[in-house]
Structures are given as structure tokens and as C-alpha cells.
Amino acid sequence: MEFRFTPEHKNINELFGRDIKYIIPEYQRTYSWDCIGKSDKNNQINVMWDDLIDYFNSEGKNTYFFGSMVFIGNGNQEYQVIDGQQRLTTMVLLFAAIKCFLNEVRPNVKQANLVEFITSTISFIDEVLYNKKLFGASTVEKKLKIEKNSGFNYDKVLTLAIECNTSASSVQLTSSTTEQKNVVSRYFNNVIFFKQKLGEEFLDKLILTESKAERLNEFIEFLKSRVSIVRILTPTFDVAYHIFEILNNRGLPLSNKDLFRNLIIKEWDTLKNSNPKKYEHIDPPTLWNELDDNYEFHDDFIGRWVESYKASKQQYSAFNDLKDIYDKIYIDIFPQKKIEIFYEDIKRDLGYYTTIVNNSFANPQIKAKINFILNASNYRYSMNFLLSLMKATRGLETDEFVQILMAFERYLVYCLLCVRFGYGPVSTAIEYLNKPDLLAAIKILEDNTDNDDIINALNQNYFENEIPKLLLAKIVWQQQIHTQDDVVSQVLEFNKATLEHIIPYTHWGTEWESHFDSKFLNNYKYKLGNMTLLTTRINSTIKNKFFDKKRLEYAKTKLPMTLELANLVTITEDYIEDRQERFVDIICKDLGIA
């Protein structure tokens, strides 16, 4: 790598000079600086404002160093932002906030000199924010542009923010994700925050006076000429990325996904530069976006991929372990280079991960078991196992796949009901899956599971709610396997379900006590046969009412195990006993131990 770069000292006025254009590439992470909260992770805007205003008020004449920024450019006034997008974007929002602030105070200003100050200042700020273009008629374009990120147009949001339209209702967010909505809010909230701070600093009893206007003008001059950066310019991505890695010690720490993205783009860019003619069709950012846009690429994926690959817990950070695997294990295998092989593996495994997370299996028996496994405890290790299983079976939903899945599910249930969860058998099973030796993987799980103990434990008392809730959900998911309805499909939302004790476990009241023997009540009140699932709303309304009232509420649900209760005229000891026996039998058969 020819390590060529040019560091230049630039004040803000020079940074936003005439006809300069900054592009935040689509592979960059989204805007993440916040003005809300007290921790280092969500108050970057507060810190920036306090630093700037304190430095300005100190009356010194020294330069305020705003950090370094790394760009790719070839001297044509258009730069790709590699490092510094958070600070660059926030400085744009600060200037926009000054403009919005002045527009809001303008109607109350009568003095001609102050009106002129506001007009000229807004005109200057427009020169900072926009480039003027002449194509028959005068037009303007922003100096900072955000390329489309993950299918969402954040550049439109930035445009609205700097035009003082800071209402989230101005952006179509109906189908947006929670994260996209949070990012949109950051742009608008930060402009609003800066406006409030400007009002506190430069208004006198909500009025812009001559002395305050003079002070505001001095602050703007301070921003223009005494706030500066070191702009590091390089013509190639690989050099820019290398510098970025060295300098990245400010702002929010990069996530595993951020670091992985940079690695992917850097390696593809290096390959392209090694033989430009052969690899002219390669576009590194596009290859990254194929992963990010088409799959459920959670930050968690990297940790699950590493641990499933190694069959052990990660040693350092997930990204460092991944990079270690890439550096030491992957090699060129003609005719492919290592990055091509690695990329194909990641793309395949992201597909498997997406199938698991979305539970988009076609086989209803597999869907039911995945539902149980993903909602049980030890999600991390279960996902490691499932990812290895998908790789070992190439994602094919065969009888062998079901057999291994069932063995793992039995082990999970055994750990839930009888013993403390141990990762050792799971990691050993993953080792066998990675070979692949599927029969050995099954055997190690079976050797660490006692089926008799599971059967006995299913008949025990449950004094906490989570395990019986999960077991009852298992019954619902298992029954859905055999439910064929081509018009309406019912799905149990596990997180919205609550556990209901048919016979209350406290404060029985005379009706319950007269209806059941006290010995029976004490023996069955904490067993599965005395439990069902409800929504939180219904559960909160029935409390400890007697059965004739409860059954009316049970009729409002669509879960068969609860609707069954609504169809009873009365509740009996024989029914509860039979229900207990049926539930245990259903679970055992589903686990393959009866």
C-alpha cells in the first residue's frame, strides 16, 4: 500500500468553502450523536455545546481544536467522509440552528441595524450550508449529502432540519423501524437543543438586544475562524481506512458491525486495487449493502458467527475474534481470493441466521421447536448451536435436522427443569456439527440429558411463572402443527402472554374452598394442569374470581387450551387432574420421550 495522505489545518470557514461538497457514503453508520441523557453514550451534543461556549466565553484568542477528519478526494472539491461524520453533521446542525434561531426572533426585532444583522447573518449561514449553482436559474445544493442508508432517505431529513422544519411529522415514518425513527429524532432534537441554548446565551429576557446581537456575531466569528480541524485527505480507501483505525479514539465506540463493515469494504477495495481491470465490476460499498439490506444483520450476528465457528466463547471482542479467524484461517484457493471465499461464507450464514431469527422455516414441526428454543433462556448459546446446525445440514429441513433439533430441545428442557445449564455439552455438540458428525452431536446431547428426570419434573410444582408459561406455550406451538386453516392464521405472541392460575394460588375465598378439598387445592394450585395462558389485559380483570366469572373472560381468547375452559359448565378435581396428565403427555411426546 502506497501510504499517501495530506494533512491540512482548516478552520470552519475553510472547511465549508465555496463549491465544496461532502458525501457521507451509504456504508457509514447512521447519525448517532444525542442531546438527551447524562452518560457518555447519549450526551455528545451537550458536551460539544459546553466545550464551545466555555471556550468562547474564556475571552482567549487561541484556536479551538475540533479534532481530525479523514476524507477520500482527488482535488475536485468533492470528498467522501471516512471519519468525522458525527462532528461534521453536528456542526452543520449548529449553523442551521443559528439560522432557525434568528428566523424565530426576527418578527420581534424593530431596529433597522438588528434587522440588517439578522439578514446578513442568515445569508452568511446559507453560504456555509449550501453551494449556489447557476443553470439558467439560481439553485442551491447542500454541501453535506448523505447517501441512502439501508433503504431510508436520511438526506431528506437533514434537508428538513437545516431548513428549520424540525417536526417528525414532516417525514413519512409509518413503515420505518424504531432505529430509523430514533435517528430522525436526533437530527431534529439536536437543532432544537442548539436553539434553546442560543436563546439562553444570546437573548435578554427573550429579546435580541444590540449588545446580545454583537455577542452572537462574535460567537459566529469564533466558529468561523477559531474552530478548526485537521483535514486528512487521501486518494484511496485503504489508506483512509488505515488512518481512520489509528485516529478513531473520539466519539462513540464503533460497534462490531461498524468494524466488520469497514473490514469488508477495505478488503474488497484492496482486491480491486490489486488488479483494477480484472475486478473493475466490483463496488465494495454495494457488496456491503447486499449484506446489510437483504438480511437480518443484527450486531449480535458477529458474536454468534464467531462462537459457532470456534465452538467456544469468544476470547476478545466478537470483531477481533472474527478478524483473527479471517487472518489466520482463510486463504486464497484458486481461482478465488480469501475475501471472496469469506464473503460467500458470511452471506450464506447471514441467510441461515435470518431464517432462524424470523423463524421462516417451512416445516411446521421445526417452526414450533424454534419458537420454543428462541424463547427459552440461554438464547446466546442456542443461537450458536442453531447456526452450526444450519451450516452442518446446509439449511435443509430433513428428518435428520428434526432429530438433532429435538435432542437439543430435550437438553434445554432438562436444564430448565432439573439442572443448571451447562455450555460444555453444547460446545462439544457444535464441534461435532462443524466436522460435520451429526450422530456424534446427538449422542453428546443425549448423554447429558435424563429423560426420566424430565418426566418427573413436569409433574412438579412451579412457584415462578416463566418456566410454566414457556411449557404451556410449547403445547400451543405443538398443537398449531396440526391446525390447518387456510383463511385465518393464529400466532401466539409469547411476550404478550401471561400465566393464569385457574384455581387462584392465594385468597381462594369461600367459593373455591367449598368447591374443592383443601388437600387438592394445595397439591394442584402450582401444577401445569391448573394453569393456562391469557393476555395481560384479560388476566388483570379476572384475578381471583370464582370459575363461573372467569370462564366468561376465558371465552374472549382464541387459544384452544383456554377456550376449552370457557366451554365447561363447572370446574372439577377430575378435570384438573386429567388436564395435568394431558399436558405432560403432550410435552413428552413432542420431546420424543414418551
Decide if 93 contacts 142 (C-beta within 8 A): no
pTM (two decimals): 0.68
CA dist 539 and 557 (Å) reads: 11
562-570: long-range pairs with CB below 8 Å, 24+:
562/500, 562/532, 562/533, 562/534, 565/502, 565/532
Cα–Cα distance for residue pair 218/352, rounded to 1 Å? 58
The structural domains of the chain, with segments of one domain joined by +, span: 6-247, 254-358, 361-449, 466-591
What local confidence, expressed as pLDDT, does residue 137 receive?
52
For residue 293, what is the enclosing H or E element?
Answer: helix 284-294
CA distance 307 to 312: 5
**Parallel, antiparallel, or unpaired for β 21-24 and 78-83?**
parallel
What pLDDT, in 10s, does the model give residues 289-301? 899 888 999 889 9
Residue among 134, 126, 133, 171 nearest 152 (CA)? 171
CB 339 within 8 A of CB 271: yes
Q: Which of 302, 255, 257, 246 is nearest to 41 (CA)?
A: 255
pLDDT tens series, the chain, 594 aa: 444 666 788 899 999 988 899 998 877 778 889 887 654 445 788 888 988 998 888 766 778 888 888 888 876 788 888 888 999 999 999 999 999 999 998 888 888 999 999 999 999 999 999 987 655 455 678 999 998 655 678 899 999 999 988 776 666 666 567 778 888 889 999 999 999 999 999 988 888 899 999 999 999 999 999 898 888 888 877 667 666 666 654 445 567 888 898 889 889 988 988 898 999 999 888 898 899 888 999 889 999 999 999 999 887 778 889 999 999 999 999 999 999 999 999 999 999 999 999 999 999 999 999 999 999 988 999 999 999 999 999 999 999 999 999 999 999 999 999 998 888 999 999 999 999 999 999 999 999 999 999 999 999 999 888 999 999 999 999 888 766 555 445 677 788 888 988 888 775 566 777 777 878 878 888 999 999 998 766 655 666 778 888 888 888 888 888 889 988 988 888 999 999 999 999 999 999 996
Upper half-sphere CA count for residue 490 (Cβ side, 13 Å): 15
Beta-strand (E) ranges in 86-143?
130-135, 137-142
Q: What is the number of other CB atoms lying within 10 angstroms of the CB of residue 555?
A: 12
Q: Helix and strand tally (H, E) in the chain?
A: 26, 10
